[in-house]
Structure 1
Amino acid sequence: MTREDETRAFSEVERAAARGELPPGTLAGEYILEGFIARGGCGVVYSARHTRSGRPAAVKVLSEAVAHSRRVVERFAREIEALQSISHPNIIEIYEVGELSGHQPFYVMERLVGQTLDALIRAETRLGPREVLELFEPICAGLGAAHAAGIVHRDVKASNIFICTGQPRTVKLLDFGIAKLMGPEEGSTWLTTAGRMPGTPSIMAPEQILGGHIDARVDVYALGVLLHRMLVGRLPFLTHDMDEMVRKHLEEPPLPPSLRVPLPLELDAVVLRCMEKRRERRFGSVEELMRALREAIGGPASGVQSGVDPAVPGVAVYLEIKTRGGSDEIDDALTADVGQVLDMAESQLSRAGFILASTTGNEVLGVRLLPADAGEERQARRAALGVASALHQALGRRAGADPRVHVNVSVHADDVHARAAGGAAAAAAQPEITGGALMCAGLWAPADEVHEVFATPSAKAGILTDELP
């Protein structure tokens, strides 16, 4: 065999270069890169360690492909400037700033271990009011410090909030890449020059979309969107059509969260005030917002313990709509049938005594808590299977069914976090479902189309075949 026929494994340096990444061992100032963490729109984040002290860190490096773009470099510099101007425990700390030999700017920051708020919401489906308050306090504290320093974040969303592991939980506000440095004008109102505002369309305030003057109330609007998603498990406006998303934020009032999940009306008032179209009707500051939120949920003085609610066994019936064909086929007939399916599911599950723990534009998840007695528990699971079967059959017979609409109906038993209802009518009210494994339908429901009721082993445990509906 000749030398040309020989093969060898690629080195780590070669593999990193093929992916457009810097190889381990690269020096960024006084820090040595150890490995890839994540890639964003314009930058790559690496784990690193100080060459002398060994202090762990994360290094964000502007991608080589865009390092020659003046606009991108200016945005990267603005992010650094914003972070360096704020010293707050809920804002990520900058250790060092520099430039690699290839003229790629970088900055070194504290290394965080944990998950984003976006990942937490996806895992839990939605959060209970107590946990929302616990997380919102540090978010608003960090944002308030930014506003006090003359900075509007302009992109306050769940993926830009990081929850560190450990107790007590530390929350950090990330990504000041499109933050605007403000100067005081006319007293305490900070204004920018007119021009279209960058940001994430699903969370943007009307004045930000229109490119008008903005101030800290842009972030208050985004906090309202975030609050809705944390409490309900979905954004207030859901559409894949960007023009329609913009129209909704400009013209359409959001539905009160309590119409989707059981929540106090006081929380509706907080969310809806944050998301007022006219900024003068919103909370004037994040501090004012936090005072209202504490009052709506009940602060520490109420004597209610914060943290995760107790886990109890439950059974869920989960309906998921899967549409066939491309997005260009969406029309009135398809929309009408999807609405019919969701209405039927919500109606039948409610009548059967299920708590509607999650409802979105393509799914309904109903939960029933299970009794402690083993025989009664098995009977309740068997009844849930019967409800799912009846729902599946009714959907198969629905009038005007669109062939592009397929519905999966699934049943699963697992732990769920539940909280007893409060107030004068607590004895008759259903408990509030605030999270738990049962709510993570993406982990137990089938990803593909199924044509009969799908029941997990835990849902069928101890039930004889001839007892199944």
Structure 2
Amino acid sequence: MTDEEDKTRTFVYSERFSARGELPPGTIAGEYMLEEFIARGGCGAVYSARHLRSGRRAAVKVLDEAVVHAPRVIERFAREIEALRRISHPNIVEIYEVGELDDHRPFYAMERLEGQTLDALIKAERRLALRDVLELMDPVCAALEAAHTAGIIHRDVKASNIFICSDSPRTVKLLDFGIAKMMAPEESSTWFTTAGRMPGTPSIMAPEQILGGPIDARVDIYALGVLLHRMLVGRLPFHTLDADEMVRMHLEETPLPPSARVPLPPGLDAVVLRCMEKRRERRFGSVDELMSALRDAIGGPSSGVQSGPDPTQRAVAVYLEVRTRGRADEFDEALAVDIGQVLDLGEAQLSGAGFILVSITGNEVLGVRLLPATADEERQERRAALEVAAAVHEALARRTGADPRVHVNVCVHVGEVQARSAAQPEITGGALLCAGQWAPAAEVQGVFATPSATEGLASPP
């Protein structure tokens, strides 16, 4: 092979990465060599990398070439670096190095994390056990308290910006300070957004943040209330596909208490609703105050309740999943009305049959009933659950005004849950709640029952 052929091959190799907007492996960023593209977000890309001398693993974030001359983008990138470097805390990602590539694109190297986001965990688990909520909120609030003490508010505290590391013991990191607002010591006690702009995510934003008025650390407390609601219930407090309607809800509507959707201690309602007060002076004054109230409501260390997982018990679940046919742009009021009718009917039927409703979202209802210890009584309970599922399916098939674009899978499964004893047992976790792992991926006709639900039943309904 000639030198000329060698150069041509190298050119094609580099062009392949350039066409995807990625830097090729082997690119040098300060003291680090890029190894592999990880992800793209905002105006930059993240790569896995290793230190040239020590071999230490890192993640390197590089600003996109297309926006490198945009002052506002550079300002945001610099703000993220400054925010991270001003806070030294075990629950905030550590910065190793800051610099520029040969083409003058800014970058920073940070610790490499392995695991998953809280967003991914909620999607998998649907709703989290109370002790998991407490264990995850504690480090997030500790990180925010450190940031607030350093004069920084995050302004985008959401599940996708919280990373759960796979190490043991579990470490939680608060990510993405890209729109953090910093306050110098000589400034006033409030931070200001640019009027008319909404930096952040509309589905989690406090009213004053939406309106572009003066803001302080209590916008992060509002976002923590939204996050708590999602962790406890499995869905956001306000749900709509219309951005303007989402803004209106945050400005005007009082969210439903979480216990209106799933069985929860009443004290948790008070914590979530206080976080989400429209007037910031009615919210918790600090994240420390919020965490103290949360521990009291859940029964954390400060309340004297022993920690540890709740006892495991077998239970039967009836799961209703709404599926829509057609294109996403065909979603209209008639479709929304019928979906609501399905969910209301399913919720009423399962609740009336004695099922504990552990998940009610925009497209599903999951009801659970604990099973007795003896084999004969368990078989009777499983048969009864199958009969309830059949009755629910029949009622849904006969509903008035059924939209042909709506299909409902009705599924039954037996598995393990974690349950806390009380006058009304509380389901706090367990594999049975992960319906995505046992419910069918395709549409089914009639009632779908797994082998664990029908085992030993001669003629299931």
Provide TM-score, normalisation by structure 1.
Answer: 0.91
Q: Within the alignment, does 1:23 sit opposite 2:24 as a pair?
A: yes
- Over residues 251-274 of structure 1, what are the superposed CA-to-partner deviations in whole Å (9 max), with x where a residue is unaligned? 111001111111121111111111
Distance 1:12 1:377 in 2: 63
Corresponding residue of 2:161: 160
Equivalent pair of 1:185/1:191 in contact (CA under 8 Å): no
Q: Within the alignment, does 1:445 sit opposite 2:445 as a pair?
A: no
Distance 1:458 1:64 in 2: 55
* 2:428 paired residue among 428, 431, 434: 434
Distance 2:171 2:390 in 1: 45
Displacement of 1:319 = 0.6
Corresponding residue of 2:61: 60
Distance 1:436 1:54 in 2: 40
Equivalent pair of 2:197/2:212 in contact (CA under 8 Å): yes
SS in 2 for 1:172: strand
Q: Within the alignment, does 1:371 sit opposite 2:392 as a pair?
A: no
Q: Within the alignment, does 1:93 sit opposite 2:94 as a pair?
A: yes
SS in 1 for 2:403: coil
Equivalent pair of 1:183/1:191 in contact (CA under 8 Å): no
Displacement of 1:184 = 4.8
Equivalent pair of 1:392/1:453 in contact (CA under 8 Å): yes
Corresponding residue of 2:450: 456
Range that drifts further, 290-299 or 353-362: 290-299
Q: Within the alignment, does 1:171 sit opposite 2:172 as a pair?
A: yes
Equivalent pair of 1:150/1:190 in contact (CA under 8 Å): no
Corresponding residue of 1:204: 205
Provide TM-score, normalisation by structure 2.
Answer: 0.92
Equivalent pair of 1:154/1:218 in contact (CA under 8 Å): yes
Displacement of 1:345 = 0.9
Distance 1:326 1:76 in 2: 37
Range that drifts further, 325-334 or 450-459: 325-334
SS in 1 for 2:214: coil
Equivalent pair of 1:49/1:56 in contact (CA under 8 Å): yes
- Over residues 183-206 of structure 1, what are the superposed CA-to-partner deviations in whole Å (9 max), with x where a residue is unaligned? 356864444564523110100111
Q: Within the alignment, does 1:181 sit opposite 2:182 as a pair?
A: yes
Q: Which amino acid aligns with 2:45?
A: V
Distance 1:141 1:331 in 2: 43
Corresponding residue of 1:358: 359
Equivalent pair of 1:131/1:307 in contact (CA under 8 Å): no
Residues 261, 15 of structure 1: alpha-carbon distance in 2 compared, 3 angstrom cutoff: same
Displacement of 1:123 = 1.6
Q: Within the alignment, does 1:468 sit opposite 2:460 as a pair?
A: yes
Matches within 5 A, 1:381-460: 381-421=382-422, 426=423, 429=424, 431-460=425-454
Q: Which amino acid aligns with 1:99?
A: E
Same amino acid, percent of matched pairs: 77
Corresponding residue of 2:317: 316
Displacement of 1:301 = 4.1
Equivalent pair of 1:193/1:213 in contact (CA under 8 Å): no
Corresponding residue of 1:260: 261
Equivalent pair of 1:48/1:58 in contact (CA under 8 Å): yes
Between the two proteins, the alignment pairs up a number of residues equal to: 454
Q: Give unpaired runs (5+ residues) of structure 1.
A: none
SS in 2 for 1:220: helix
- Over residues 327-384 of structure 1, what are the superposed CA-to-partner deviations in whole Å (9 max), with x where a residue is unaligned? 5554544333322222221121122221111011221001122233334333332322
Equivalent pair of 2:410/2:448 in contact (CA under 8 Å): yes
Distance 2:244 2:335 in 1: 20
CA RMSD in angstroms comes to: 2.3
Distance 1:342 1:260 in 2: 12
Displacement of 1:56 = 1.2
Displacement of 1:33 = 1.5
Range that drifts further, 88-97 or 112-121: 112-121
Equivalent pair of 2:38/2:48 in contact (CA under 8 Å): yes
Corresponding residue of 2:117: 116
Distance 2:36 2:389 in 1: 48
Distance 2:300 2:234 in 1: 23
Equivalent pair of 1:48/1:57 in contact (CA under 8 Å): yes
Range that drifts further, 303-312 or 53-62: 303-312
SS in 2 for 1:406: strand
Residues 211, 187 of structure 1: alpha-carbon distance in 2 compared, 3 angstrom cutoff: closer
Q: Which amino acid aligns with 1:406?
A: H
Q: Which amino acid aligns with 2:319?
A: Y
Range that drifts further, 79-88 or 183-192: 183-192
SS in 2 for 1:211: coil
Distance 2:221 2:262 in 1: 23
Distance 1:179 1:83 in 2: 10
Displacement of 1:102 = 2.0
Distance 2:191 2:345 in 1: 50
Matches within 5 A, 1:191-270: 191=192, 194-270=195-271
Residues 128, 28 of structure 1: alpha-carbon distance in 2 compared, 3 angstrom cutoff: same
Displacement of 1:389 = 1.1
Equivalent pair of 2:60/2:110 in contact (CA under 8 Å): yes
Displacement of 1:34 = 1.8
Distance 1:434 1:260 in 2: 14
Equivalent pair of 1:32/1:49 in contact (CA under 8 Å): yes
Q: Which amino acid aligns with 1:264?
A: P
Distance 1:99 1:345 in 2: 57
Equivalent pair of 1:196/1:212 in contact (CA under 8 Å): no
Distance 1:186 1:24 in 2: 44
Displacement of 1:140 = 0.8
Displacement of 1:448 = 3.1
Distance 2:196 2:336 in 1: 36
Corresponding residue of 1:46: 47
Equivalent pair of 1:16/1:23 in contact (CA under 8 Å): yes
